[in-house]
Amino acid sequence: MGVTPKIAPSMLSSDFANLASEAKRMLDFVADWLHMDIMDGHFVPNLTIGAPVIESLRKHTKAFLDCHLMVTNPIDYVEPLGKAGASGFTFHVEENWQELIQKIKSKAMRPGVALKPGTLIEEVYPLVDSENPVEMVLVMTVEPGFGGQKFMPQMMDKVRVLRKKYPSLDIEVDGGLGPSTIEMAASAGANCIVAGSSKFGAAEPGTEKC
């Protein structure tokens, strides 16, 4: 694509007891966005944060809060997250996507759709081609639920196909991204990179964008 990808550190790998300073550390060094993993312990076997934490963090930063909803019934989260100050609202493909996109936009958030490794790429086409489309596709490069997993290079085929079909779409990749995999994802066409353990695990998260 020829552009420097945005870097979105996944706050799931941060010290939640010091969320505001962890966010600042990332924004000072490397982050364009902050990636917020919202998990309900049902859609995925892990339970993380929700609107109250987004609201607290919003008091400390104006950064784009890129929320990835790994929850059952994401529509129930639109209003509270909009009120809390979320910027992006990325949900997993589901039947009532038209109503969901409309509601997300009505709360001034940016809608995105996520693809688990087992979800077929064709499932997102109607959401991108719609008259009221999503503005980003998130291609998961691990099974959703936990940080620190191994990158699945075979997911790059999805990124390549999406980039060819949608030259100006935001394509985000998430899971196992670090120094040895970011380049592969960027060359496949990803322009938003989520990185958790590789950024928070590093003493020096790096000033480089890619």
Ligand X SMILES: O=C(CO)[C@@H](O)[C@H](O)COP(=O)(O)O
Catalytic member of 32, 37, 40, 66? 37
Question: Residue 181, interface with ligand X (CB under 6 A)?
Answer: no
Q: Which listed range, 73-81, 101-109, 117-125, 196-204, lies at the site for ligand X (CB under 6 A)?
A: 196-204
CB atoms within 10 A of CB 94: 13
Annotated catalytic residue 129: no
Smallest gap from residue 37 Cβ to ligand X (A) = 5
Smallest gap from residue 151 Cβ to ligand X (A) = 8
Measured CA to CA, the distance from residue 199 to residue 206 in angstroms comes to 8
Binding mask 63-102 toward ligand X (x if CB under 6 A, else -) reads -----x----------------------------------
Cβ–Cβ under 8 Å, residues 203 and 26: no
Measured CA to CA, the distance from residue 60 to residue 72 in angstroms comes to 29
Strand ranges, E, within the chain: 6-9, 33-39, 64-70, 88-92, 110-115, 136-140, 170-174, 192-195
Q: Which is nearer to ligand X, 68 or 163 (CB)?
A: 68
Measured CA to CA, the distance from residue 71 to residue 116 in angstroms comes to 13
Question: Residue 206, interface with ligand X (CB under 6 A)?
Answer: no
Residues placed in the known binding site for substrate: 10, 68, 145-148, 176, 196-197
Q: Record the tokens describing residue 182, joined without a space.
A: 């970011």
Q: Which listed range, 94-102, 146-154, 159-167, 183-191, lies at the site for ligand X (CB under 6 A)?
A: 146-154
Catalytic member of 32, 40, 66, 174? 174
Annotated catalytic residue 37: yes
Question: Residue 22, interface with ligand X (CB under 6 A)?
Answer: no
Nearby residues of 121 by Cβ (< 8 Å), 6 or more positions away: 115, 158, 161, 162
Nearest C-alpha neighbor of 120 from the set 99, 145, 93, 147:
93
Residues placed in the known binding site: 10, 35, 37, 68, 145-148, 174, 176, 196-197
Active site residues: 37, 174
